[in-house]
């Protein structure tokens, strides 16, 4: 089911993009890696949420469309940050698979447990989608404080 969900929303299980030859500082690479990971986590959340909405509220097409759009935005940002950080693009697919599995486990593969997913992901993913630059700034500051 997880693979079908991802194929349906992404379009293809393999994602390929050209690697950028840009040389990054280790700190910027970690920031981009973390930003990519957070966006992929949110993409997984929106993917599972979209499926649950289709099952539980088949007539609410407006919310379903907004959720699919949020999935696409998070996936695109995750893809861009993955590429920019110099990670293999296969990392994106692996992260997405793992995150979807974690979320499905959290809700016990039962959309009636949707509130568990909302509690864990909704606020942080909404914030990430609405203020990505602010999140990048926080990640950069956090990494700088670790130095």
147 in a structural domain: no
Q: Judge contact between 97 and 17, C-beta under 8 A.
A: no
6 in a structural domain: no
Residue 24 has a pLDDT of 86
Domain region containing 42: 26-135
Q: What is the residue-level pLDDT of the chain in tens, covering all 147 positions? A: 444 344 334 443 333 334 445 678 999 999 999 999 999 999 999 999 999 999 999 999 999 999 999 999 999 999 999 999 999 999 999 999 999 999 999 999 999 999 999 999 999 999 999 999 999 999 999 988 887
56 in a structural domain: yes
**Token couple for 105:** 């486990």
143 in a structural domain: no
Residue 22 has a pLDDT of 63
* Pick from 134, 112, 147: nearest CA to 38: 134
Residue 3 has a pLDDT of 41
Torsion sign across C-alpha atoms 47, 53, 55, 60: negative
Cα distances (Å, whole numbers) of residue 34 to 42, 61, 100, 137, 145: 12, 32, 18, 12, 15
146 in a structural domain: no
Domain count, the chain: 1
3 in a structural domain: no
**Token couple for 19:** 């690697």
20 in a structural domain: no
145 in a structural domain: no
């Amino acid at each position: 089911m997880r693979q079908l969900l991802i194929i349906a929303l992404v379009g293809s299980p393999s994602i390929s993009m050209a690697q950028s030859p840009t040389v990054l500082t280790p700190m910027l690479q970690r920031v981009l890696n973390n930003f990519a990971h957070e966006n992929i986590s949110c993409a997984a959340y929106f993917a599972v949420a979209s499926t649950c909405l289709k099952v539980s509220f088949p007539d609410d097409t407006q919310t379903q469309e907004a959720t699919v759009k949020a999935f696409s935005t998070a996936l695109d940002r995750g893809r861009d940050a993955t590429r920019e950080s110099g990670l293999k693009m296969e990392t994106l697919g692996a992260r997405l698979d793992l995150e979807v599995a974690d979320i499905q486990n959290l809700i016990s593969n039962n959309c009636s447990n949707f509130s568990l997913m909302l509690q864990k992901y909704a606020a942080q993913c909404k914030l990430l989608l609405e203020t990505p630059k602010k999140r990048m700034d926080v990640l950069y500051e956090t990494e700088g404080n670790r130095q």
